[in-house]
Amino acid sequence: MIELDEDLKKVFDEARMDDYLNKKTICAGLGIKKSLLDSKAIHGGGPIHFKESGMLWYKKEDAIKWYGEYSLELADKKEKLRVAVFSMANERQGNW
């Protein structure tokens, strides 16, 4: 399995930005789980894609752009959660 991921990562790395790649190749290239793209394809919020012959295809450029935006959004959510937990902990200390 590791060899397959490394082979797919190589395909991703060597692809042009306007090449269309399948889901497995995008996941290997971006280092994300297939389930993330599956969920985003169903519920929205993922990279632009199209379906052909039962497979989802993503333009490399669109996938990279989406991943950058998704990573920033995730980091922002984690920071907001950290601040909320810290605030709650401080409030509790004041109530003791």
Q: What is the pLDDT of residues 36-84, one digit of tens each?
A: 999 999 999 999 999 999 999 999 999 999 999 988 887 777 777 777 7
pLDDT digits (tens, 9 = 90+) for 1-28: 556 688 999 999 999 999 999 999 999 9
CA atoms within 13 A on the CB side of 84: 6
d(CA 83, CA 78): 9
| Helices within 44-59 (DSSP H only) | none
Question: Which amino acid is residue 7, in one-letter code?
Answer: D
Return the pLDDT at 10.
95
Q: Give domain 2-95's CATH architecture.
A: Orthogonal Bundle (1.10)
What angle separates helix 23-30 from helix 2-14, to the nearest 10 degrees? 90
Query: Please, what's the largest Cα pairwise distance for the chain?
Result: 63
